[in-house]
Amino acid sequence: MSDRDPVVLIVEDEPDVAETYRLWLQDGYEVRVAQNGDEGLDKLDDEVDVVLLDRMMPGLSGDRVLELIREEELGCRVAMVTAVEPDFGILEMGFDAYLSKPIGSDQLKETVENLLDRSEYDDLLQEYYSLVEKQATLEATKSRVELADSEEYERLTSEIGALRDDLSDTLDGIEDDEDFIATVRRLGDVEEY
Protein backbone atom coordinates (compact mmCIF):
# COMPACT_ATOMS: atom_id res chain seq x y z
CA MET A 1 0.00 0.00 0.00
CA SER A 2 1.31 3.43 -0.93
CA ASP A 3 2.06 6.18 1.60
CA ARG A 4 0.48 8.86 -0.60
CA ASP A 5 -2.98 10.26 0.03
CA PRO A 6 -5.62 8.79 -2.28
CA VAL A 7 -6.33 11.03 -5.28
CA VAL A 8 -9.90 12.12 -5.99
CA LEU A 9 -10.75 13.86 -9.27
CA ILE A 10 -13.92 15.98 -9.21
CA VAL A 11 -15.36 16.64 -12.68
CA GLU A 12 -18.17 19.16 -12.15
CA ASP A 13 -19.24 22.12 -14.30
CA GLU A 14 -20.79 24.08 -11.42
CA PRO A 15 -17.82 25.83 -9.69
CA ASP A 16 -19.62 26.25 -6.34
CA VAL A 17 -20.54 22.56 -6.21
CA ALA A 18 -17.01 21.48 -7.18
CA GLU A 19 -15.50 23.75 -4.52
CA THR A 20 -17.87 22.39 -1.87
CA TYR A 21 -16.87 18.81 -2.69
CA ARG A 22 -13.19 19.82 -2.66
CA LEU A 23 -13.52 21.40 0.79
CA TRP A 24 -15.29 18.33 2.14
CA LEU A 25 -12.54 16.02 0.89
CA GLN A 26 -9.36 18.09 1.20
CA ASP A 27 -8.34 16.83 4.64
CA GLY A 28 -8.05 13.17 3.68
CA TYR A 29 -7.30 13.21 -0.02
CA GLU A 30 -5.34 14.87 -2.76
CA VAL A 31 -8.16 16.56 -4.68
CA ARG A 32 -8.08 17.61 -8.32
CA VAL A 33 -10.91 19.65 -9.84
CA ALA A 34 -11.96 19.86 -13.48
CA GLN A 35 -14.80 22.06 -14.75
CA ASN A 36 -15.69 20.01 -17.84
CA GLY A 37 -15.19 16.61 -19.42
CA ASP A 38 -12.17 17.54 -21.53
CA GLU A 39 -10.36 19.07 -18.55
CA GLY A 40 -11.29 16.02 -16.50
CA LEU A 41 -9.64 13.71 -19.02
CA ASP A 42 -6.56 15.96 -19.06
CA LYS A 43 -6.25 15.68 -15.26
CA LEU A 44 -6.86 11.93 -15.24
CA ASP A 45 -3.85 9.66 -14.88
CA ASP A 46 -2.96 6.37 -13.22
CA GLU A 47 -2.60 8.10 -9.83
CA VAL A 48 -6.33 8.94 -9.66
CA ASP A 49 -8.14 6.53 -7.34
CA VAL A 50 -11.70 7.91 -7.47
CA VAL A 51 -13.51 10.12 -9.98
CA LEU A 52 -16.63 12.05 -8.92
CA LEU A 53 -18.24 12.68 -12.29
CA ASP A 54 -21.17 14.98 -13.06
CA ARG A 55 -23.33 13.26 -15.65
CA MET A 56 -24.72 16.32 -17.45
CA MET A 57 -22.12 18.87 -18.52
CA PRO A 58 -21.84 21.09 -21.58
CA GLY A 59 -19.46 19.71 -24.18
CA LEU A 60 -18.22 16.25 -23.29
CA SER A 61 -20.91 14.64 -21.12
CA GLY A 62 -20.18 12.61 -18.02
CA ASP A 63 -21.53 9.53 -19.81
CA ARG A 64 -18.92 9.96 -22.56
CA VAL A 65 -16.13 10.70 -20.07
CA LEU A 66 -17.03 7.48 -18.25
CA GLU A 67 -16.84 5.51 -21.51
CA LEU A 68 -13.40 6.95 -22.24
CA ILE A 69 -12.17 6.17 -18.71
CA ARG A 70 -13.25 2.55 -19.10
CA GLU A 71 -11.74 2.29 -22.59
CA GLU A 72 -8.39 3.36 -21.13
CA GLU A 73 -8.76 0.60 -18.50
CA LEU A 74 -7.56 2.83 -15.69
CA GLY A 75 -7.92 1.30 -12.26
CA CYS A 76 -9.96 4.14 -10.79
CA ARG A 77 -13.46 3.86 -9.36
CA VAL A 78 -16.09 6.24 -10.77
CA ALA A 79 -19.11 7.70 -8.97
CA MET A 80 -21.70 9.49 -11.09
CA VAL A 81 -22.87 12.50 -9.06
CA THR A 82 -25.88 13.91 -10.82
CA ALA A 83 -29.39 15.32 -10.74
CA VAL A 84 -30.37 13.05 -13.66
CA GLU A 85 -32.90 10.45 -12.59
CA PRO A 86 -31.53 7.01 -13.47
CA ASP A 87 -33.24 4.80 -16.03
CA PHE A 88 -32.59 1.26 -17.23
CA GLY A 89 -29.87 2.67 -19.49
CA ILE A 90 -27.58 2.80 -16.44
CA LEU A 91 -27.21 -0.97 -16.73
CA GLU A 92 -24.87 -0.43 -19.68
CA MET A 93 -22.76 2.17 -17.88
CA GLY A 94 -19.47 1.36 -16.18
CA PHE A 95 -19.83 3.40 -12.99
CA ASP A 96 -19.21 2.06 -9.50
CA ALA A 97 -21.65 4.30 -7.59
CA TYR A 98 -24.53 6.61 -8.52
CA LEU A 99 -25.30 9.58 -6.27
CA SER A 100 -28.35 11.74 -6.82
CA LYS A 101 -27.93 15.45 -6.08
CA PRO A 102 -28.16 17.12 -3.72
CA ILE A 103 -25.74 15.12 -1.59
CA GLY A 104 -24.25 15.86 1.81
CA SER A 105 -20.73 15.77 3.14
CA ASP A 106 -21.13 12.46 4.97
CA GLN A 107 -22.64 10.73 1.94
CA LEU A 108 -19.85 11.97 -0.33
CA LYS A 109 -17.08 10.96 2.09
CA GLU A 110 -18.66 7.55 2.71
CA THR A 111 -18.95 6.92 -1.02
CA VAL A 112 -15.31 7.82 -1.64
CA GLU A 113 -14.19 5.57 1.24
CA ASN A 114 -16.34 2.69 -0.02
CA LEU A 115 -14.93 3.05 -3.52
CA LEU A 116 -11.37 3.08 -2.19
CA ASP A 117 -12.13 -0.06 -0.17
CA ARG A 118 -13.60 -1.75 -3.25
CA SER A 119 -10.42 -1.02 -5.19
CA GLU A 120 -8.66 -3.51 -2.96
CA TYR A 121 -11.08 -6.35 -3.75
CA ASP A 122 -10.65 -8.67 -6.66
CA ASP A 123 -12.33 -8.10 -10.01
CA LEU A 124 -15.19 -10.52 -9.28
CA LEU A 125 -16.16 -8.68 -6.13
CA GLN A 126 -15.88 -5.31 -7.88
CA GLU A 127 -18.20 -6.54 -10.63
CA TYR A 128 -20.65 -7.78 -7.99
CA TYR A 129 -20.60 -4.42 -6.17
CA SER A 130 -21.15 -2.54 -9.42
CA LEU A 131 -24.17 -4.67 -10.35
CA VAL A 132 -25.67 -4.45 -6.85
CA GLU A 133 -25.26 -0.66 -6.97
CA LYS A 134 -27.18 -0.56 -10.26
CA GLN A 135 -29.87 -2.83 -8.84
CA ALA A 136 -30.26 -0.65 -5.73
CA THR A 137 -30.44 2.50 -7.84
CA LEU A 138 -33.20 1.08 -10.03
CA GLU A 139 -35.12 -0.32 -7.06
CA ALA A 140 -35.04 3.10 -5.40
CA THR A 141 -36.44 4.88 -8.46
CA LYS A 142 -38.66 2.39 -10.31
CA SER A 143 -41.96 0.79 -9.32
CA ARG A 144 -42.26 -2.93 -8.73
CA VAL A 145 -44.34 -3.16 -11.91
CA GLU A 146 -41.63 -1.43 -13.98
CA LEU A 147 -39.01 -3.75 -12.53
CA ALA A 148 -41.15 -6.84 -13.10
CA ASP A 149 -41.73 -5.83 -16.74
CA SER A 150 -38.05 -5.21 -17.48
CA GLU A 151 -36.05 -7.95 -19.20
CA GLU A 152 -32.90 -5.96 -18.44
CA TYR A 153 -33.68 -5.97 -14.71
CA GLU A 154 -34.39 -9.72 -14.83
CA ARG A 155 -30.99 -10.32 -16.50
CA LEU A 156 -29.32 -8.08 -13.90
CA THR A 157 -30.90 -10.05 -11.05
CA SER A 158 -29.78 -13.35 -12.59
CA GLU A 159 -26.25 -12.04 -13.11
CA ILE A 160 -26.09 -10.87 -9.48
CA GLY A 161 -27.27 -14.29 -8.33
CA ALA A 162 -24.63 -16.08 -10.38
CA LEU A 163 -21.86 -13.78 -9.14
CA ARG A 164 -23.08 -14.14 -5.57
CA ASP A 165 -22.92 -17.94 -5.94
CA ASP A 166 -19.37 -17.71 -7.27
CA LEU A 167 -18.37 -15.42 -4.41
CA SER A 168 -20.13 -17.57 -1.82
CA ASP A 169 -18.17 -20.60 -3.02
CA THR A 170 -14.99 -18.57 -2.65
CA LEU A 171 -16.00 -17.45 0.84
CA ASP A 172 -16.77 -20.99 2.11
CA GLY A 173 -20.43 -21.21 1.14
CA ILE A 174 -22.06 -18.43 3.10
CA GLU A 175 -25.77 -19.27 3.44
CA ASP A 176 -27.79 -16.06 3.65
CA ASP A 177 -27.53 -12.47 2.41
CA GLU A 178 -26.85 -10.90 5.82
CA ASP A 179 -23.94 -13.23 6.43
CA PHE A 180 -22.64 -12.63 2.91
CA ILE A 181 -22.76 -8.84 3.24
CA ALA A 182 -21.21 -8.94 6.72
CA THR A 183 -18.35 -11.11 5.45
CA VAL A 184 -17.71 -8.82 2.48
CA ARG A 185 -17.66 -5.79 4.77
CA ARG A 186 -15.24 -7.55 7.11
CA LEU A 187 -12.96 -8.20 4.12
CA GLY A 188 -12.90 -4.46 3.52
CA ASP A 189 -11.89 -3.84 7.14
CA VAL A 190 -8.93 -6.22 7.07
CA GLU A 191 -5.66 -4.29 7.03
CA GLU A 192 -2.70 -5.48 5.03
CA TYR A 193 0.29 -6.51 7.11
Strand 7-11, strand 77-82: pairing: unpaired
Tally of residues, the chain: 193
On whether both 115 and 147 belong to a single domain, the answer is: no
Q: Let me know if residue 47 belongs to a domain.
A: yes
Q: What is the pLDDT of residue 1?
A: 43
Domain that holds residue 32: 7-119
Q: Answer yes or no: is 40 within a domain.
A: yes
Distance CA 65, CA 71 (A): 10
Residue 161: C-alpha distances to residues 74, 125, 158, 177, 193 (Å): 27, 13, 5, 11, 33
- Examine residue 181 and state whether it is found in any structural domain, yes or no: yes
Identify whether 2 is part of a domain: no
Per-residue pLDDT of the chain (193 residues; tens, 9 = 90+): 456 789 999 999 999 999 999 999 999 999 999 999 999 999 999 899 999 999 888 889 888 998 899 888 887 999 988 887 777 767 677 788 888 888 999 999 999 988 887 666 656 777 888 899 899 999 999 999 999 999 999 999 999 998 888 777 655 544 445 555 565 555 544 433 3
**What is the predicted pLDDT for the residue at 33?**
97
Q: Are residues 68 and 132 in the same domain?
A: no
What pLDDT score was predicted for residue 116?
85
Say what the pLDDT of residue 117 is. Answer: 74
Q: What are phi and psi of 78, to 5 degrees?
A: -125, 125
Task: Indicate if 132 and 115 belong to the same structural domain.
Answer: no
Total Cβ atoms within 10 A of residue 102: 9
- pTM, full prediction: 0.66
Q: How many domains does the chain have?
A: 2
Shared-domain flag, residues 83 and 143: no
Based on the fold, state whether residues 28 and 103 are members of the same structural domain. yes
Residue 16 sits in the same domain as residue 100:
yes
Does residue 83 sit in the same domain as residue 174?
no
For residue 15, CA distances in Å to 31, 51, 111, 123, 157 come to 14, 16, 21, 34, 38
